[in-house]
Amino acid sequence: MLDLLLTSHWDQRERAGSHLKRLPAGENSYLFAVSSQGEGYFLVWTGPEKRSVLDRAAFRALAVEAKTQGLKPPFHVYARTATYPGPNIEFYQIPDRILEKLGFNAATQPFASDNENGVEGEPA
Higher pLDDT, 119 or 33: 33
Question: What integer pLDDT is reported at residue 46 of this predicted model?
Answer: 78
pLDDT in tens, 48-86: 777 789 999 999 999 999 999 999 999 999 898 999 988
Question: CB of 54 within 8 A of CB of 82?
Answer: yes
pLDDT for position 17: 42
Give 76's strand partners: 41, 90
Question: What distance in Å separates the CA atoms of residue 78 and residue 95, rounded to the nearest whole number?
Answer: 9
Q: Of the candidates 99, 62, 69, which has an alpha carbon nearest to the alpha carbon of residue 84?
A: 62
The counts of H helices and E strands in the chain are 3, 7
Q: What is the pTM of this model?
A: 0.71
